Amino acid sequence: MSRTFRVVDLFCGVGGLTRGLRDAGLDVAAGVDFDPNCQYAYEANNEPSRFIHADVQKLPARDLQALFGDCSVKILVGCAPCQPFSKYTKKTSKSTDAQWALVSSFRKLIRDVKPDIVSMENVPDLVHHRVFEQFVRSLRAMKYVVNYRVMNCADYGMPQERQRLVLLASRYGPIAIPDPDMSMPRRTVRSTIAHLKPIRAGGVAKNDKLHKSCKLSELNAVRIRRSKPGGTWRDWPLELRAACHTRESGQTYPSVYGRMRWDEPSPTITTQYFGYGNGRFGHPEQHRAISLREGALLQTFPASYRFVRKPEDMKYATLGRLIGNAVPVDLGRIIGSAIQSHLISLQS
């Protein structure tokens, strides 16, 4: 029997997951996100998928249902903002309640809309929290077959050590998450960004305004010259170390103020990857933090991906957050291929 398949992407951001799903051959009708900064990048790179500016917590189920149209197979995907569960944000507070609610809102929309296939991507620590247990239990109560695992993006051909929780669920039966091909060589920082023209700290490439690096203070300019690939601030002489690193509490953050290694995948690209002091985000050779473009490439966005309408619209903090928060495009493609394989099996 001929079936029509359609996807809606909740918490879509600038479209990393949508682009990957589309690359895998899926029809993504729309992406929904609360941040209007995402609209240009989402629509400019994923036409005809539409960007819907809305708060998922307040999105009526009937409005979500309408986005699927008259398709016979509804696929709902999403990555609820994950900061409360990230290893980079161990602190908990009442302010995390709203973020926990985003996962619960996703669950409630699944209950009301009853999509045929569901996918959720998030940080690994989510599996240890009650909200995830409730999410899975609710899916199983609705007769979904649920499968999930923690995937390291580097094991799946991406040039980044990024651990992600991927969940797939289907009302039709078991749905497989592919195993990594460990025989394949890993993609590296070198193979991903070495072709870009050298720029200085605070500089920008003439032919690519996104290939732009933050300025360094005089002190950090000295520090980065004393930093080695794969190293940290512990490699510096004492006089260059920050006061916070000389206290016991500072010893727990050894990965800041480091350089990437050329012939390994990058560390996890975070929302502040463009800042030298925010992680091991120093360029392997050049005395600067990696550029916005380099971060986007390590997140497997195509070089042609457009993030802003005009170069002068770029703001480091905004673009860094949008790129760092995105689902890597290649991870989206892997998820999409798994869904495609499942859909093909239904027609055999």
Cβ partners under 8 Å of residue 337, min gap 6: 24, 178
Residues 289 and 332 in one domain: no
CB contact set of 235 (below 8 Å; sequence gap of 6+): 226, 227, 228
Confidence at residue 153, expressed as pLDDT on a 0 to 100 scale: 97
- Identify whether residues 34 and 175 lie together within a single domain: yes
CATH code, 214: 3.90.120
Average pLDDT over every residue of 102-116:
95
Q: Cis omega before residue 237 (within 30°)?
A: no
Residues 164 and 35 in one domain: yes
Over residues 201-207, mean pLDDT? 95
**Distance (Å, whole) CA 48 – CA 234:** 50
* pLDDT confidence tier of residue 95, bands split at 50, 70 and 90: very low
Give the C-alpha separation, 74 to 118, whole Å: 9
117 and 252 inside one domain? no
CA distances from 165 to 15, 132, 148 (A): 18, 11, 7
- What residue spans of 124-208 are helical by DSSP H? 130-141, 189-193
Q: Can you tell me which residue has the tokens 């669920």?
A: 169
pLDDT tens-digit map of 31-52: 999 999 999 999 999 999 999 9
Pair 137, 285 in one domain: no
> What integer pLDDT is reported at residue 68 of this predicted model?
97
Output the pLDDT for position 287: 96
233 and 173 together in one domain? no
Residues 298 and 339 in one domain: no
- Are 274 and 288 in a shared domain? yes
User: Do 35 and 146 sit in the same domain of this protein?
Assistant: yes
127, pLDDT greater than 60: yes
Q: Could you please report the per-residue DSSP string of 214-231?
A: ----HHHHHHHHT--BT-
Express each pLDDT in 210-266 by its tens digit: 999 999 999 889 888 888 888 777 777 666 666 666 556 555 556 677 899 999 999
pLDDT in tens, 163-186: 999 999 999 999 999 999 988 899
Helix (H), strand (E) at residue 169: strand 163-170
**Is 82 one of the annotated active-site residues of the chain?**
yes
**Residue 213, helix vs strand vs coil:** coil
Residues 162 and 254 in one domain: no
Domain range for 85 is: 5-183+328-346
193 class by beta-carbon count within 10 Å (0-12 exposed, 13-18 middle, 19+ buried): buried
Q: Taking 80 as the threshold, does the pLDDT of residue 84 lie above it?
A: no
Count of the separate structural domains present in the chain: 2
Whether 74 and 106 map to the same domain: the answer is yes
- Name the active-site residue from 38, 82, 153, 214: 82
Domain at 21, CATH number: 3.40.50.150
Which whole number is the average pLDDT over 100-112? 91
Q: 280-315 burial, b for 16+ CB within 10 Å, e for fewer?
A: bbbbbebbbbbbbbbbbbbbbbeeebebbeeeeeee
| 142, 227: one domain | no
The answer for residues whose C-beta is within 8 angstroms of residue 152's C-beta and 6 or more apart is 161, 162, 163, 180
The pLDDT, as a whole number, for residue 257 is: 79
Quote the mean pLDDT of the chain.
90
